[in-house]
Structure 1
């Protein structure tokens, strides 16, 4: 099923309303799926519309925040991640060598979605990036924004 929304544009229903865009983030261009969480009836919350408008009106600032935030997050968790790996792991050394090196950290990430979840607080605009990452294949990384400011970086489920 497809619709054309006055703000979101053309969307296809696929476990939420989706469309693909190209986005430059983490020093690469990704084809990213925008996923607006709603049922097949395509009734969107006003907060989702506002979140979409504000997020994309200042997308470059959101990208910059994500790039800076992911470096801090990576540096804060990577020692623990490495401790869980086999001590002879070449991958562990690769992860350690990337610490404090944004270009190397970014190589471990693939941005998959921009999520605009349902939100029932009239004063809150919520959005975020869902990424796959090589250091935690099972959980990935989520970068959650509230009112266009990063509120949390953690597992993908912070946005799901």
Structure 2
């Protein structure tokens, strides 16, 4: 495995078309260590857009995460009844997809696992994807699509993969 120390991204190891390292974020008032994955070739020639995307995220992390939390809360509340119907058992419903009144309750249900710094496309947007494991969707998880420091979409992880 190829390893590097990048001035911005830190210690990274090349694995399956991504450079992977670690970082810490605070989401739903819980600090967690997550994977940092930078989309790139083995030569580690990251674009300025990728660097700007990550640098801007780090500088505005509290604001961006706060907006992401609100969007996840809205997404959850829009879909929770559907998830509860699938489960059928009340005990399971209340554990896996409980009705919640406060955003902070999501800390028990949503666990961020990885921030992906995507390659630049023709539109030149700074693209990030925040992946989360969630209690109600074990297979597909949750993805938070961030473009130019704005939370654009919340849904299954495939929206950012």
What's the TM-score, normalizing by structure 2? Answer: 0.90
* Equivalent position of 1:150 in the other structure: 151
> Could you tell me how far apart the structure 1 residues matched to 2:35 and 2:13 are?
11
1:117 Cα deviation after fit: 1.2
> Could you tell me how far apart the structure 2 residues matched to 1:106 and 1:41 are?
38
* Equivalent position of 1:79 in the other structure: 81
- Deviation digits for residues 13-45 of structure 1 (CA, Å, limit 9, x no counterpart): 123111112221122111111100112221222
Q: Secondary structure at the match of 2:87?
A: coil
Evaluate the alpha carbon distance shift between residue 122 and residue 132 of structure 1 in structure 2; reply closer, same or farther with a 3 A threshold.
same
1:70 equivalent among 55, 69, 72: 72
Asked if 1:28 is matched to 2:11, the reply is: no
Q: Secondary structure at the match of 1:84?
A: helix
List, as ranges, runs of 4+ consecutive aligned residues in structure 1 with deviation greater than 4 Å: none
Contact kept in structure 2, 1:2 and 1:12, CA below 8 Å: yes
1:3 Cα deviation after fit: 1.2
1:102 Cα deviation after fit: 1.7
Residues paired across the two proteins, number: 159
> Could you tell me how far apart the structure 2 residues matched to 1:33 and 1:17 are?
10
